[in-house]
Every structure is written in structure tokens, then in C-alpha cells.
């Protein structure tokens, strides 16, 4: 059995050890075992988390992150990983069993078959599915057609955070995670090495009100992401979302990326339809499990 220990904050040495475990898992599985938010919460001084470490013979064998702030539905949300060298020895089951028994959701990134099997064994079932889609970038991307009076410019740090958060909240008030984005969250991502204000495109109406945005992200020289596309509900249905998506794709193309990925809820049929028409195809899926 593994030795389990809970921590409200990781030391720098613990964070480095966890990062190595996560990298080993990603190298084996081809997909990151935890999301970006977890990596941000591993930093010194980060709050709202509990970290569960599982060691075997003094070596870190598994890690679980518990978001105690929870999602907009009031669920505590966990993500976990087991080092490839310690798999199929019960470490994953020990981690899950040590998590809170009530009102818990657990993400399994990439739809890993081991995660599906473990979920079934421990009495969990699929609660959400987040599709990951991708597009091979072409030179002949259509020119975006903006609604009358709408113009696009790039994000200005220190000026646009509040307006983005306001529109984001209106656009994603239904979303368990995205709708809770705060000004502090935006500023924290501005400190990330991937952040590029030139790829954060904002759409304004003729009264200079923000009505939508497309936040792009470059992971590697070959891979970009449609990170977030948000449109104010008052402007939805008029083609602004498609125009912003195309504008961001053209920006990523100009960065010489070869492929673009995105995440979309499987039951968001309107968005899936738009992305499919643009040429995106299914890559894999993240599954959230609940008891």
C-alpha cells in the first residue's frame, strides 16, 4: 500500500517532484493528466486546493489535486495521476478512496481506459464529456465577416481585464468552470510564458463596448489552441462567434502553427456544429465522473 499525505500547499521540492510525475504520465499517455488550473495551483501561495501525495518506498507514486473551492454546481473537483512505473498496483484506487465521498467530481483526461475501468470499479459514472477537436491549418482560411459596426483589436494588459471578465461571465454563466473566471485569473495567465496579447482578440461595437473575444494560445511551434471564444448573449446568433473564431485561426496561421486544437462540451451541439463546419475533427475527450 502507498503512504498517503494531504497538503494545503506544496513546497518547492514537492511541486518539482509532482511536476516530474505529471511529465512522465503525459509522456506515456500522450495527454496531460491534469489541466492548466492544477499546475497554477501548485505554485507557492496558491489557495483553494488540497494536494494528496502517495509514496511507495519513499518514491512519489501518485498525486491527486482537490479543488475545494469547487465548480459553479458546488462540486469539489479532483484530478489525479499515477506514475507509469507504479500503475496497476492499486495506487489510483487508494487516491480516489481518500478523496471526499460526497459531492465529488473527478476528471479523467484523454478518456484513458484505466480511468474508465477504475471509475466503474469504484461506483462512478460519466457526468460530463469535454471533446478535444483539432484542425490542420490551411492557407486559404476564409476572411471573417464581422457584423456591422464591430471592430477587432488586441487585448491591452492593465486596461481590458474587467471588460473581458464581464462578457465572459455573461457568455458562460452556465459553465461550471469558465463562468467563474476572475480578474485575478486573467492577470495570473498574463504572467504565463505562453501569454501573447496580440493573440487575445477583442470585438467592440460602435459604442466601444466589448461584445466578444477570442483568446488564442500557442502550446508549441506546431500546435495552437482556440483557448476561449466568448460572445455576449445579446450578440449571439449574428455570426460574431464564427467571425472571431476565424480571426483567431488566421492569427494562429500567421504564427506558423500546423494544427489548432480546442475543447468543447459534448452537449454544446451548436458550437460542435460550427467547429465541424470549419473543418475540426474529434481528437479525444476528457471525461468527468461522479458517484
In the annotated binding site, the residues are 36, 80-82, 177, 217, 225, 229-231, 236-242, 263, 268-273
For residues 225 and 215, give the distance between their C-alpha atoms in angstroms, rounded to a whole number: 9
Secondary structure of residue 45 in the 3-state scheme:
coil
**Which residue numbers belong to the known binding site for acetyl-CoA?**
80-82, 229-231, 236-242, 268-273
Residues 6+ apart with CB under 8 A from 155: 164, 197, 200, 201, 202, 213, 215
For residues 150 and 148, give the distance between their C-alpha atoms in angstroms, rounded to a whole number: 6
Measure Cα distances from 272 to 8, 17, 172, 262 in Å: 38, 38, 16, 10
Q: Answer for the pair 61, 26: CB distance below 8 angstroms, yes or no.
A: no
Q: State the cell numbers at 283.
A: 481528437
Q: Answer for the pair 202, 153: CB distance below 8 angstroms, yes or no.
A: yes
Place of cell 475501468: 117
Place of cell 498517503: 4
Amino acid at each position: 500500500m502507498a503512504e498517503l499525505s494531504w497538503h494545503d500547499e506544496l513546497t518547492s521540492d514537492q511541486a518539482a517532484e509532482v511536476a516530474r510525475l505529471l511529465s512522465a504520465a503525459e509522456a506515456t499517455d500522450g495527454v496531460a493528466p491534469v489541466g492548466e488550473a492544477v499546475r497554477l495551483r501548485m505554485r507557492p501561495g496558491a489557495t483553494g486546493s488540497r494536494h494528496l501525495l502517495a509514496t511507495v518506498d519513499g518514491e512519489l507514486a501518485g498525486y491527486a489535486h482537490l479543488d475545494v473551492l469547487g465548480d459553479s454546481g458546488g462540486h469539489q473537483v479532483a484530478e489525479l495521476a499515477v506514475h507509469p512505473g507504479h500503475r496497476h498496483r492499486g495506487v489510483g484506487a487508494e487516491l480516489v478512496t481518500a478523496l471526499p465521498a460526497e459531492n465529488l467530481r473527478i476528471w479523467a483526461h484523454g478518456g484513458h481506459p484505466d480511468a474508465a475501468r477504475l471509475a466503474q470499479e469504484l461506483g462512478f459514472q460519466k457526468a460530463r464529456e469535454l471533446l478535444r477537436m483539432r484542425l490542420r491549418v490551411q492557407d486559404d482560411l476564409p476572411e471573417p465577416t464581422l457584423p456591422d459596426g464591430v471592430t477587432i483589436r488586441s487585448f491591452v494588459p492593465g486596461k481590458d481585464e474587467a471588460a473581458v471578465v464581464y462578457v465572459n461571465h455573461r457568455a458562460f454563466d452556465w459553465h461550471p468552470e469558465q463562468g467563474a473566471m476572475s480578474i485575478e485569473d486573467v492577470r495570473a495567465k498574463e504572467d504565463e510564458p505562453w501569454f501573447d496579447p496580440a493573440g487575445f482578440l477583442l470585438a467592440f461595437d460602435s459604442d466601444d463596448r466589448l461584445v466578444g473575444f477570442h483568446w488564442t494560445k500557442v502550446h508549441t511551434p506546431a500546435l495552437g489552441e482556440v483557448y476561449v471564444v466568448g460572445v455576449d448573449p445579446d450578440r449571439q446568433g449574428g455570426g460574431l462567434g464564427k467571425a472571431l473564431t476565424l480571426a483567431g485561426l488566421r492569427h494562429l496561421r500567421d504564427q506558423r502553427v500546423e494544427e489548432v486544437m480546442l475543447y468543447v462540451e459534448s452537449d454544446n451541439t451548436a458550437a460542435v456544429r460550427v467547429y465541424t463546419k470549419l473543418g475540426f475533427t474529434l481528437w479525444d475527450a476528457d471525461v468527468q465522473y461522479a458517484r
